[in-house]
Structure 1
């Protein structure tokens, strides 16, 4: 069990690191194609990785969106068979049209263990931290 927790944390770290560097390809490769997403700043659920990638592209082109850094704390992993639930507090430095801001949020990422042994994210839920 402990080995699986480390593997999930490593998968989460790769995802968070890629996001923090605005490395789109590495970031999205951490998600299964059928992954779903719920973000507090969107009025709808994104039903696939492809939908999220399209939304990300809109943010980049319309809003000048860029991730400048990301820090994770208060981390926890729960394992339930081939599913893992990763929760953390996340502080993200973003820029929109050159204006830099920092967001404070809580996030849940659900991972599923693949037949290859790799853990891929299948759901992400982001909420504001108050």
Structure 2
């Protein structure tokens, strides 16, 4: 069980690290193609990874979006066989149109073990920290 827990935490850390460096390719590779996303700053869910990638590209071109850093704290992991639920608090520094903005949010990421053994994110839910 400890090996499995470590594998999921490594997958979560890799995803967070790629996000914090605005490494789109590595970040999106951490999600399954059919992953779903719910973000407090969007008026609709994103039902596929491709939909999120398109939204991210829009943020970049329309809003000048760029992630500058991301810090994860208050981490928790629950294991359910081939599924895992990772929750944490997130402090993100990003740039929008040349202006740096810091946000404080809570995030849930659901991971699923793939047939070859890798853990991919299949759902992400981001909410404002109160």
- TM-superposition CA deviations, 1:52-73 (whole Å, max 9, x none): 0000000000000000000000
Give matches, 1:8-23, under 5 Å. 8-23=8-23
Query: In 2, distance between residues paired with 1:117 and 1:46?
Result: 26
- TM-score normalized by the length of structure 2: 0.99
- TM-superposition CA deviations, 1:10-45 (whole Å, max 9, x none): 000000000000000000000000000000000000
RMSD, aligned α-carbons: 0.4
Name the SS for the 1:19 alignment partner: helix
Residue ranges of structure 2 left out of the alignment (5+ in a row): none
Residue ranges of structure 1 left out of the alignment (5+ in a row): none
Equivalent residue number for residue 114 of structure 1: 114
- TM-score normalized by the length of structure 1: 0.99
Runs of 4+ with deviation above 4 angstroms? none
Displacement of 1:2:
1.5
Query: In 2, distance between residues paired with 1:29 and 1:123?
Result: 13
